[in-house]
Chains A and B, each alone.
Chain A
Amino acid sequence: DTAVSQTPKYLVTQMGNDKSIKCEQNLGHDTMYWYKQDSKKFLKIMFSYNNKELIINETVPNRFSPKSPDKAHLNLHINSLELGDSAVYFCASSRGQQVGETQYFGPGTRLLVL
């Protein structure tokens, strides 16, 4: 009965590979997010989708492509992985896109690029 779930939890891969991370929420929320938390612990928003439509795209390299097949899922595909992509990626959801909505985070995906 996990509210926001992500797979995989851990991902170790070589530079240059392509990988995907999946996120699902069962809260009935309309808005979903991807965040990156780097080694310095900064948590930075990458994308936000509301009802399958992109609403925030924070100057992320176009190697990162989010996809929202329905409002309960927001996947992240990363092409040509680089060393600097190593981080923890958190998915989150909120009831709506209004400013100030509480965000519920998934457990994170720890990505290590070798």
Chain B
Amino acid sequence: RKEVEQDPGPFNVPEGATVAFNCTYSNSASQSFFWYRQDCRKEPKLLMSVYSSGNEDGRFTAQLNRASQYISLLIRDSKLSDSATYLCVVNPPSGGSYIPTFGRGTSLIVHP
């Protein structure tokens, strides 16, 4: 089982739709979870951190479920500009450090 798994998609949704992505991780001792966004041929950029209590930033909501070992990202009222690849990041322990481990990303296409 891969350390971090995401459905690669693509998720093809109309403007205004609500879409949700999940990301599962295998190491229960993992710390610190994030969602990054990567546009085509660009670098990843932090979208939001993910806290146990859940957190919201405008149209974006992130949640962590430690019992089931997954994180989620919900996007409400999708915009064309939300089209991108969404990467989850988990930090499993390894040899005394925590190693930032990226999922392969979920592709979102928002169409008019």
Contact = CB atoms under 8 A, between A and B. Distances in A.
> Is A bound to B?
yes
A102 B48 CA distance: 9
A43 B44 contact: yes
A56 B43 contact: no
Residue in B46, B49, B87, B100 with the greatest tally of chain A CB atoms within 10 Å: B100
A40 B97 contact: no
Residue in A42, A99, A105 with the greatest tally of chain B CB atoms within 10 Å: A99
Interface string A35-53: 0000011111100000000
Contacts, number: 44
B87 A43 contact: yes
A14 to B, nearest CB: 24
A99 B85 contact: no
B45 A105 contact: yes
B12 interface: no
Contacts of B43: 90, 105-108
A107 B101 contact: no
Interface residues of B, number: 20
B99 A58 contact: yes
Interface residues of A, number: 21
Contacts of A41: 85, 104-105
A58 B95 CA distance: 11
A102 B99 CA distance: 13
Contacts of A108: 42-43
Given A45-B101, A55-B97, A99 B46 contact: no
A99 B98 contact: yes
A104 B43 CA distance: 9
A103 B98 CA distance: 14
A31 B63 CA distance: 27
A102 B101 contact: no
Given A41-B105, A43-B105, A104-B46, 10 more contacts: A41-B85, A43-B102, A45-B100, A56-B97, A58-B99, A99-B91, A100-B32, A105-B43, A105-B44, A106-B43
Closest A-B pairs by Cβ, 4 of them = A100-B32, A105-B43, A99-B98, A43-B102
